[in-house]
Structure 1
């Protein structure tokens, strides 16, 4: 890296003052001899998981000062490409243009993209006292709601799939991310592939409809939803508060609520992306699947790094972090429903991840 990020500087100052921050060195001796700053930034969906991973990393390597700023996927990738961080979190794979820029950023090496955080995206709503565990909604209905075509909660399209629920005539207020977001790209990709003509927009990190209610990052969407009844939005499932209800989505002949198991099932049913490599383990999610037990509104959040770093210290520190995140202990730590409730990666995927991590080196 050419210069430490503002995030890393703040982290270092905070730790020096003795304040609490995930990633602050505990001051213990690190048998591996690793040390130095390791700043990261990116997807806010990874925030809870990353906090847990940084704590585990600190236990193993207290000399490495790891930090993570949940600024959103797009900003995180930009910071990584500008060498403000050593790694990034992104809810979407890098574009061809970003990968080309990555060659220079990675000192002639390649961008490494590893699918280390797999989580369902929940469609949540604020309808107190509804009494239903989940509202059952077809993908076409969800598309109509978020496109502004279905405007009240007792609309016939909603009532048809929820015959035993006393639906109110409350106005529907869709809430979306205001910042460029991989969560938005994953959600709009699902609508585009599963809802057909009901969603007349392409998948995009930027919400395609203007004049909507919105919030910055995951926390902003949740706060906006909690402020008014009748709201509906899409958020990382780990960050849905207890006072919001969630949707079971139509898949084939059934309605499937989100769960780590259902998220893992759709990943297993999906092929590798067309341009995937042994360093870029990107996945083409089967959003329009009809396979039983799958939840297709899934977020695969990639941890992005370089195959080549300027210094041996950066390369060694990044390898250590990615090794811990991919480990059984790291994956089980965030799979705990009290933490993030994510779906642990499979043993096969772990072996391919470690083969990529082993190629990370210094220039």
Structure 2
């Protein structure tokens, strides 16, 4: 990392003013006040959740525009790969759709000062869409049990009685189902699996949700883009992906309570707001446990909370001086609005953003 100049407060660094105030007719030689210029310089490397891809592109573009001597790269390699890279010291931060496991927290983090723990704060809330591609079917209702049976391999045809019962008016074909899942370790998979584990445990017979897809069924694809491409280019396909990447693909309505609902960022944020802190975590760890058994149709239960993970204290001098303003911008009202515009994510609520910003502001 090459870091050359630091020391400006976040407000001046992260989103520097871009225009000077013009003065009315005063003395002929009176000049306008100069625009503030960022003195921040250096490079940051991040890797992880592909769900954050669109948001990271928007965040990086805005931050680098305000700070032209800063270079930030983000590899959307997947949550599991991103955490592994960060733990090994191959990146300055990670994005992850699942919080760090207890066994990961017990490992030494190469980028962090010896004896210190990483922080993890929520930065991106998004619904997970159940996407599908079936000719002649543009409106599809599914409940948790049926989804679990499709992705576990218990239901293999589109005109199965269980799907027909939920969609009596649909023209469901006699066609094999190709259920597409993530082939890489993925926080999106963990969140999707957690929804089925909580709401359809009898049909989703696993020990506990985890980043790897739990069944040897269907078709695997690398990353969010891989799943979307496989569903889009296949026949009779169905998959799950961050809603920001669904594009023009058809999206299933999910049964919540006695209604079938479509996802919205607001409904995703609502179910997260009712989540609880994970037990036994450090004060700088904002891991959230989500109760997906809601029967309130204003809450969409298939949702991911994507985290930013970094060091409370970095081993390499000066790294925090870049991570801190970049993350503070991401957590700011403007950063959240930029992500919402680029990726359709739900902005963090004010209390969550304030707590996360306080953790980031304390890193060194």
User: TM class, shorter-chain normalised?
Assistant: 0.7 to 0.9
CA displacement 1:291-327 (0-9 Å, x = unmatched):
2311111011101000101244211100011001001
Displacement of 1:109: 2.2
For residue 357 of structure 2, what is the aligned residue in structure 1?
A: 354
**SS at 1:188's partner residue?**
helix
Task: For 2:80 and 2:173, locate their aligned partners in 1 and report how far apart those are by CA, in whole Å.
Answer: 38
Is the partner of 1:67 in helix, strand or coil? strand
Consecutive unaligned residues in structure 2, runs of 5 or more: 3-34
1:74 is displaced (CA, Å) by: 0.9
CA contact (8 A) 2:190 2:212 kept: yes
Taking structure 1 as the reference length, the TM-score comes to 0.87
Deviation at 1:31, TM superposition (A): 3.4
Secondary structure (helix, strand or coil) at the match of 2:355 reads helix
Counterpart-to-counterpart distance in 2, 1:112 and 1:64 = 23
Equivalent residue, structure 2, for 1:10: none
Per the alignment, residue 34 of structure 1 pairs with 40
* Cα distance in structure 1, aligned partners of 2:111 and 2:280: 20
C-alpha RMSD of the superposition:
1.7
**Structure with the greater alpha carbon radius of gyration:** 2
Counterparts of residues 113-128 of structure 1 (less than 5 Å):
113-128=120-135
Report what 1:65 is aligned to. Answer: 71
Q: How does 1:189-208 map to 2 (within 5 A)?
A: 189-201=194-206, 202-208=208-214
Gaps of 5+ in 1: 5-28
1:233 to 232, 239, 245: 239
Does residue 44 (structure 1) correspond to residue 50 (structure 2)? The answer is yes
Secondary structure at the counterpart of residue 318 of structure 2: helix
Is 1:140 the counterpart of 2:141? The answer is no
Judging changes above 3 Å, is the alpha-carbon distance between structure 1 residues 30 and 152 closer, same or farther for their aligned structure 2 residues? farther
Matches within 5 A, 1:151-166: 151-166=156-171
> 1:324 touches 1:330 (CA, 8 Å); kept in 2?
yes
Shift of residue 241 of structure 1?
Answer: 2.2
Name the residue aligned to 1:25: none
Task: Confirm or deny: 8 A CA contact 1:120 1:259 kept in the other structure.
Answer: yes
Q: Secondary structure at the match of 1:238?
A: helix
Deviations 1:158-185 (A, max 9, x none): 1112122121121111011111111111
Deviations 1:26-48 (A, max 9, x none): xxx98342211100001111111
Contact 2:254–2:261 (Cα < 8 Å) also in 1: yes
Query: For 1:275 and 1:250, how far apart are their aligned partners in 2?
Result: 33
Aligned to 2:324: 319
d(CA) in 1 for partners of 2:188, 2:280: 21
SS of match in other structure, 1:198: coil
Decide which of 285, 294, 297 is 1:289's aligned counterpart. Answer: 294
Q: Residue 275 and residue 248 in structure 1: after superposition, are their counterparts in 2 closer, same or farther (change >3 A)?
A: farther
Contact kept, 8 Å, 2:89 with 2:110, in 1: the verdict is no
Per-residue Cα deviation, 1:66-100 (whole angstroms, up to 9, x for no partner): 11011111111111111111001011110112112
CA deviation digits over 1:102-125, x for unaligned, max 9? 556421322110110100110100
Q: Give how far 1:227 is off.
A: 2.1
Deviation at 1:60, TM superposition (A): 2.1
Contact kept in structure 1, 2:259 and 2:297, CA below 8 Å: yes
- 2:86 maps to what in 1? 80
SS, match of residue 68 in structure 2 = coil
**1:180 pairs with 2:185:** yes
- How far the C-alpha of 1:211 sits from its partner, in A, is 4.7
Q: CA deviation at 1:223?
A: 1.3
Question: How many aligned positions are there?
Answer: 330
1:36–1:313 contact (8 Å) kept in structure 2:
no
Structure 2 residue 94 is matched with structure 1 residue 91: no
SS in 2 for 1:183: helix
